[in-house]
């Protein structure tokens, strides 16, 4: 194997192991860990760093279930790719799996932005957006 392939496999194994450990934590333990790790101030007007990831997601808006892909994700929210975004202000319930996690993540949020590529969801309960 080439060094870049070895590095990619190592990064994938590390990420999968971290996700497994985090998924086995209680919500309180996850929040404590997040606060310990997230001490940086991110630029670009965002309060949380976003990572580009293509993750299959099921979401429910107004009792209708849809399937699409998360394009990027942060602690505060996600951007979902779709040609038919829901309306801004709508409440949404998302269910998706991270890497080799044994249990899916289910989280609620609010649609805060739409464009021709999809829509943004904010997970924070008291979002000003």
Angstrom distance (rounded) from CA 99 to CA 7: 17
pLDDT band, residue 14 (cuts 50/70/90): confident
The residue that leads in pLDDT, 1 or 57, is 57
Per-residue model confidence (pLDDT) at position 105: 85
Q: Where are the domains of the chain?
A: 1-42, 49-129
CATH fold of the domain at 49-129: Thrombin, subunit H (2.40.10)
For 12-22, what is the mean pLDDT?
81
pLDDT tens readout for residues 107-124:
999 999 999 999 999 988
Would the CA dihedral through 30, 86, 111, 63 be positive or negative? negative
pTM over 0.85: no
Per-residue model confidence (pLDDT) at position 15: 76
The neighbouring-strand residues paired with 56 are 69
């Amino acid at each position: 194997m080439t060094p870049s392939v070895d590095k990619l496999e190592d990064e994938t194994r590390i990420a999968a192991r971290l996700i497994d450990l985090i998924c086995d934590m209680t919500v309180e333990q996850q929040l404590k860990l997040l606060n310990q790790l997230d001490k940086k101030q991110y630029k670009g007007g965002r309060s949380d760093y976003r990572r580009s990831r293509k993750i299959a997601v099921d979401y429910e808006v107004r009792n209708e279930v849809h399937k699409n892909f998360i394009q990027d994700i942060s602690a505060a929210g996600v951007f979902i790719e779709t040609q038919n975004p829901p309306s801004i202000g709508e409440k949404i319930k998302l269910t998706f799996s991270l890497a080799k996690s044994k249990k899916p993540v289910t989280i609620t949020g609010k649609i805060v932005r739409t464009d021709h590529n999809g829509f943004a969801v904010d997970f924070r309960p008291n979002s000003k957006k």
